[in-house]
Amino acid sequence: MAGPIIMQTDYGERYHLPSSTMTSFGVSVVHYLSFYGSNYNWRNGASFFSDHFKLKTELSYYFTNDLEHKGRYVAPGSTTAEVDKLRAMSGETKMFNIGTQLEYYFKNLEDYGLLFNDREKWAPYISAGVHFNMFSPKLESSMGNWEADPSVLPQKWQNNVYVNKDNTFSLTLSAGTRYKVGRIDLVLDARWQYFLSDRIDGLDAVDGSSKFNDTAIYLNLGVIFDFESFRSEY
């Protein structure tokens, strides 16, 4: 699975989605555990849980190399020294995620999975989960080496840069759908991810304008193979 990521960090204006960084990208490898079927001997005693839930395990990688300040504070026409320093800042971050999500499907999954059931093409779902994140941010300024001369940064950030490798947890909420194409499923998923850290981008000021943690919206498209159905055929 892969797709674009909209990062909402200290680069950009809070509550102003157009100023968020949209140049991030993510790739994922996922595994699904179903709770129905002969492997679990539950076919004759199916429950609401086994018919409507899947457990998704995911390993993913996010990256962005174009973090920059956007929004009204760096709008054209502003020429103060602090604004120029904001414009000169740029950053990047890379992240590995591993986690799990519990997906709830509105349709009966066992009926949807039957190969001869051509009427059930769509399987919409919602989900929630938790991830462990390992991230590595970087910061540069076109005005010079900020580590040797912190004054090239706006005063707000001069003592609030954290570019060491770090880790945190995150909470996820998703909505999406599967679409059956023969023995494979196409999956479209939209995920909101709330990090339990405000240092994903390497910035974390202590003033009131930076009181929220970083978040991301991950729009991804993928292909799911049911190896059990392929194995049963051969």
User: Each residue of 202-220: pLDDT tens digit?
Assistant: 998 877 666 789 999 999 9
- Of the chain, the percentage scoring pLDDT greater than 70 comes to 83
Does 233 score more than 60 pLDDT?
A: no
pTM of the model: 0.88
Q: Which stretches does DSSP call E strand in the chain?
A: 2-8, 21-34, 53-68, 89-105, 122-141, 166-181, 184-195, 215-225
Q: What are phi and psi of 66, to 5 degrees?
A: -140, 45
Instruction: Name residue 222's amino acid.
Output: G
User: Each residue of 162-217: pLDDT tens digit?
Assistant: 999 999 999 999 999 999 888 889 999 999 999 999 999 999 887 766 678 999 99
Which option is the CATH number for 2-233: 2.60.40.10, 3.50.50.60, 3.40.250.10, 2.40.160.20? 2.40.160.20
Per-residue pLDDT averaged across 130-149, rounded? 96
pLDDT band of residue 112 (cuts 50, 70, 90) is confident
Per-residue pLDDT averaged across 25-44, rounded? 75
b/e burial code for range 182-195 (CB count within 10 A of at least 16 → b): eeebebbbebebeb
Q: Where are the domains of the chain?
A: 2-233
- The per-residue pLDDT for 42 is 46
Contact 196, 170 (CB under 8 A): yes
Does 234 score more than 80 pLDDT?
A: no
Query: In whole numbers, what is the pLDDT of the chain averaged over residues?
Result: 86
Does 19 score more than 70 pLDDT?
A: no
User: Each residue of 37-81: pLDDT tens digit?
Assistant: 644 444 555 788 988 999 999 999 999 888 888 777 777 777 789
